[in-house]
Structure 1
Amino acid sequence: MHSKTSTRSHRLPLQRKLDHNTHPLIWLLAIICTIIAIAVVIAGIVVFIGYLVIHPRVPVISVTNAHLDLLRNDYAGLMETQVTIVVRAQNGNAKAHATFAGIRFNLTFDGQDIAMLVANPFDVPKNSSRDLNYVVQSSSIPLTPDQVEEINQAWKQNEIAFDLKGDARTQWRVGPMGSVKFFCHLNCRLRFHPLNGTYIPSRCTSKSK
């Protein structure tokens, strides 16, 4: 007798592919993000084009005048001084106001701190300037023997120098979409005739970046 071996064919159930429909909120978020990205790009282009159209001179800070009102030193190695310094904030932009802020300039003699010159934020109109008048007073500044000798030589040669170093921030508004910012750095040597206090004119203008 022949026995029949029955074979069963096992068929896997058909899997239906799920139809993944994108939720409308996801599409909405994608559209919003795209609009924001385009707006940012357009705003950047507007600021850049506005800056090219204005094509202004960079804001600068400079020392336009000064005077050595007082210089006195004694045998104890103490120095007293008073210096008048006129600092000018210049806005050469004919189409936008400029804001000057963070002004801090340190006046020193041979590395010895004398005073810090500061100012509150202020605006300078289009194509205009504003002068800051500082009267710097200091008394009883202790000097090293080398500094005392330097002052003695200054009296003999009728020339003495002070260093003025510091920074300021400037900003232009370019339309309603943005602004252009600069960083001004001032590093000058102010020279005087101590016998009469007159200022020896020299170029003292900030560098911007």
Structure 2
Amino acid sequence: MFRQQETNPHFLPLRNDPILEFPSQSRHPQHEPPPRRSTRTREQTPHSPSSPHHPTKQGVRPTYLVEPPPQRSHHTSTTPAGLSPADHSIPQATPPPQHVAAAAPQTQYTTQTSRRSRRPSLLQGPTSQKTRPLAWLIAAFCALFWIIVIVGGLIILIVYLLFRPRNPKFDISAVTFNAAYLDMGYLLNADVTLLANFSNPNTKVNVDFSYVILDLYYEKNFIATRYVEPFSLMRSETEFANVHFMVSQVRLSMGHIMELKRQMDSGRVNFEVKGLFRTRSKLGGFLQYSYWLYAHCQITVTGPPTGILLDKKCVTKR
């Protein structure tokens, strides 16, 4: 509807009197959505307009009906209602300082979390690394060494099972105690002859004796030594050697001198014979190995000048 312009000057309103107008339904269409409400509101900047729907005219005061600005939540856009985002003439509302202050602890917590995540964990699996050439060389050397050890052990086992090598044996077959006397009461002079027996118990192995030496002892005192020429023993062969001990001017203690006199009077004199042998066994015609043998014999003979062997006990070992 259109208003009819008043022509009577008495009824014209004064310039300073406000004009009351009631909003019609056309000023608020039905399809306009109600403003959003939330618990958090933003403060209006002093530069935002009071009401975009009621523009002021020159010479006419605005009406008293003022719509409240729409309340915006924290996640809504900061563009005022009725303006497009492309309108840059109106400044955007800045976030309150409390949000900036609240974001600082979160950033600090995120930084600490990222630092903790970069720390190495004990449960983390080993990282793959390229193997060095030196490690490959050491592994190849160890593998070759163990192959040689295993092959050598198999060869030794086969040879042992095939030839069944045994150590040669040393024994004393006969003893002659020809003479014994004391010079100046404490120097021993004696004549003892041994018939040594060297035997090879192997049926498939030959044995060579390259170094043979025999020592004679009385009550743990060394009194004489003899060297035997090298010889060889074939399979299951026995070799005898006549060993003559000449004891000359050997000093004994008074206790040992008294013990020797007592044994000669009783007809049972005890001696010890120790032997050291360097032997070499030949397994067939392609394999041989050398080793040392140690012999120890305890013999008992009668008194001189016709002393003979009464008892013996011999042990031969490596």
Q: TM-score, normalised by structure 1?
A: 0.71
Partner of 1:118: 227
Taking a change above 3 Å as real, the CA distance of residues 165 and 85 of structure 1, as seen in their structure-2 partners, is same
The equivalences for 1:48-63 within 5 A come to 48-63=157-172
Partner of 1:3: none
Deviations 1:59-97 (A, max 9, x none): 111222211111122552222111111111111111221
Of the structure 1 ranges 97-106 and 41-50, higher mean CA displacement relative to structure 2 is found in 41-50
Partner of 1:192: 301
- Find the aligned partners of 2:166 and 2:312 in 1 and give their Cα distance: 21
The equivalences for 1:137-148 within 5 A come to 137-148=246-257
Unaligned runs of 5+ in 2: 1-139
Once the two structures are TM-superposed, the CA of residue 182 in structure 1 deviates from its matched residue by 4.1
Partner of 1:202: 312
- Find the aligned partners of 2:292 and 2:217 in 1 and give their Cα distance: 22
Once the two structures are TM-superposed, the CA of residue 161 in structure 1 deviates from its matched residue by 1.0
Once the two structures are TM-superposed, the CA of residue 186 in structure 1 deviates from its matched residue by 1.3
Partner of 1:71: 180
- Find the aligned partners of 2:192 and 2:294 in 1 and give their Cα distance: 21
Aligned residues: 176
Q: Does 1:152 align with 2:246?
A: no
What is the aligned-residue identity percentage? 21
Once the two structures are TM-superposed, the CA of residue 197 in structure 1 deviates from its matched residue by 0.4
Once the two structures are TM-superposed, the CA of residue 46 in structure 1 deviates from its matched residue by 4.2
Deviations 1:16-75 (A, max 9, x none): xxxxxxxxxxxxxx9xxx8xx989976764453233122244211122221111112255
Q: Does 1:88 align with 2:204?
A: no
- Find the aligned partners of 2:152 and 2:228 in 1 and give their Cα distance: 33
Taking a change above 3 Å as real, the CA distance of residues 117 and 99 of structure 1, as seen in their structure-2 partners, is same
Q: Quick check: 2:165–2:205 contact (8 Å CA) kept in 1?
A: no
- Find the aligned partners of 2:251 and 2:291 in 1 and give their Cα distance: 37
SS of residue in 2 equivalent to 1:152: helix
What amino acid is aligned across from residue 58 of structure 1 in structure 2? N
Taking a change above 3 Å as real, the CA distance of residues 89 and 105 of structure 1, as seen in their structure-2 partners, is same
Once the two structures are TM-superposed, the CA of residue 121 in structure 1 deviates from its matched residue by 2.7
Of the two, which has the highest radius of gyration? Answer: 2
Partner of 1:11: none
- Find the aligned partners of 1:176 and 1:77 in 2 and give their Cα distance: 55
Q: TM-score, normalised by structure 2?
A: 0.49
- Find the aligned partners of 2:284 and 2:189 in 1 and give their Cα distance: 49
Q: Quick check: 1:46–1:177 contact (8 Å CA) kept in 2?
A: no
What amino acid is aligned across from residue 297 of structure 2 in structure 1? C
Once the two structures are TM-superposed, the CA of residue 155 in structure 1 deviates from its matched residue by 2.1
